[in-house]
Amino acid sequence: MSFIKQTALSIGFDACGIAKAERLDEDAMFLRSWLDEGKNGDMHYLERNFEKRVDPRELVPGCKSIVVVLMNYFPQEKQNPQAPKIAKYAYSETDYHLIIKSKLKLFEQKIIDFYGVDCISTGNQHIFVDSAPVLERRWAERAGLGWIGKHTQLIHPGLGSYVFIGLIMLNIELEYDTPIKNRCGSCTRCMDTCPTQALKNSTIDANRCISYLTIESKNEIPEVFHDKLSSCSYGCDICADICPWNKKWAKPNEHVELSPNKKMLQWDYETWLNLSEANFNETFRNSAMKRAGFQKLKQSVKIVAAIENKKQQ
């Protein structure tokens, strides 16, 4: 095992792969078509920095290699079933961006100590965690860490799709990993199970996606989707939960940093409905839950609580 991969595992990542930096021509064509069809909803930031998004060498001058790491976030504990559902990635008390970035900075320093300072592009950002114009899942696939399933998520053989992805872009040539075969076959469970039919032909329409509707969208959730939210108030795991590969491979993570917010997991519908903004800010001050904001979350909670109440009448 190479120095880089050994170091990644020693720091606490669950998998590591390396891909050659080059333009993603097929992804560029797909992304342009996807954006032209308006499937990004009001996530207009996806329309910016197009060339940087499809060519890492435009983002980081001199980039030759992309080191990709994965971190399992499948939780050890389950949420109260009598409550609005929260996506599993947001269970932890600390925002995963902060956790992954901290580990990547340590990782990067060890790489610099080993290869020399010239291995990075001075003056440029070269650490990425879901917050820059980078196609993380594609690079993870290119680095041999899995394949992109029909639910559009990376599926790692051994971890499943409940993984965070981090990248370091380096200005040195390395030994590159070989992508593995897509193993979804004829299975369409994720697409068939999506209550809003957001998944079709192995792609996603954000305008219909529950995660988008409850987090990213700046607008109120359209009434046509209210009874299709399936109790989801912050994100959605439906397509991942139904995936046979997750049923086989997803195992509780062993990362102390990702310890769940135990208080939140115990809340029921009444607690969520009575949640004040001050309590929200205090409970989720370092959490990924703050991304949607208090008002957006309360809107989703009220909708799913009302639907649940109707079912019980």
* Residue range 96-147, pLDDT digits in tens: 999 999 999 999 999 999 999 999 988 788 999 998 899 999 999 999 999 9
Q: Let me know if 241 is a catalytic residue.
A: no
pLDDT reported for residue 1: 60
Q: Which residues of the chain have pLDDT under 70?
A: 1
Tell whether pTM > 0.85.
yes
Cα separation, 96 vs 167, whole angstroms = 14
The structural domains of the chain, with segments of one domain joined by +, span: 1-313
The DSSP code sequence of the chain is --HHHHHHHHHT-SEEEEEE----HHHHHHHHHHHHTTTTTT-GGGGSSHHHHH-HHHHSTT--EEEEEEEE---SSPPPSSS-EE-GGG-BSS-HHHHHHHHHHHHHHHHHHHH-GGGS-TTS--EESSSSS--HHHHHHHTTS-EE-TTSSEEBTTTBT-EEEEEEEESS--PPPPPPPP--TT--HHHHH-TT--EETTEE-GGG-HHIIIII-SSPPPGGGGGGSTTEEE---HHHHH-HHHHHH------GGG-B-HHHHH--HHHHHT--HHHHHHHTTTSGGGGT-HHHHHHHHHHHHHHHHHHH-
Choose the catalytic residue: 55, 130, 177, 227: 130
